Amino acid sequence: MRVLLKLVIDCDADAAWRAVHSPRAVAELYGPLLDLDPLVPHGLPTSWSPGDDVPVQLSALGVVPMGRQLIHMSERFADGPSGPVRIFRDSGIPLTGPLSSLDVWDHQMAVSPAPGDPSRTLWRDRLVIGGPTAPALWPVLWGVWQWRAARIRALAPTWAHDPEPAPTA
């Protein structure tokens, strides 16, 4: 079963690519509904890197435990009609909690310059789930992904951290 998002956001593709690699930015996408806390002593990395395996604890509204998840990060690149397409993939798996009944978890986020406007980003988000409880969990995850879409749109303008050049006198 799949949950799909496709939207154009107000930041360039480089800023969006940095954001998908930032555990802090990813955690903000779910806030304040879900908190993402590391289960490793050294905490979350500053930036996800290919091959990372990071266990995290999810909690609803900061107080209700929702289970543990292993985040396994990889990336790939492709050519698109409007420029390069960069794909971030989390192929980890829920370890405990309601989502642990899933035996497939494949979350991919693709960013590329928006067609006709390279100052904006075409964001595609795909979650594939499978297992005997996937049909029951799909509506809940679909709702969470709609929340994600709203948060992505709201937060994207804050992702660009390159200062504007000072006006010349």
Which residues on neighbouring strands pair with residue 163, listed in sequence order? none
Q: Which of 1-10, 57-66, 75-84 is most confident?
A: 1-10
Where b means 16+ CB within 10 Å and e means fewer, 15-46 reads bbbbbbbbbebbebbbeebbbbeeeeeeebee
Which CATH class for the 2-159 domain? alpha beta
Tens digit of pLDDT for each residue in 130-159? 999 999 999 999 998 999 999 999 999 999
Residue 165, pLDDT > 80, answer no
Residue 2, pLDDT > 90, answer yes
DSSP symbol at 56: E
Confidence of residue 169 (pLDDT cuts 50, 70, 90): low
Residue 161, pLDDT > 80, answer no
Question: Are the C-beta atoms of residues 113 and 121 closer than 8 Å to each other?
Answer: yes
Please state the rounded mean pLDDT for residues 80-91. 92
Tens digit of pLDDT for each residue in 7-45? 999 999 999 999 999 998 988 888 888 888 889 888 888
Q: Where are the domains of the chain?
A: 2-159
At residue 63, the pLDDT reads 86
At residue 129, the pLDDT reads 97
Residue 162, pLDDT > 60, answer no
Please state the rounded mean pLDDT for residues 72-97. 93
Centre a 10 Å sphere on the Cβ of residue 4 and count the other Cβ atoms it contains: 11
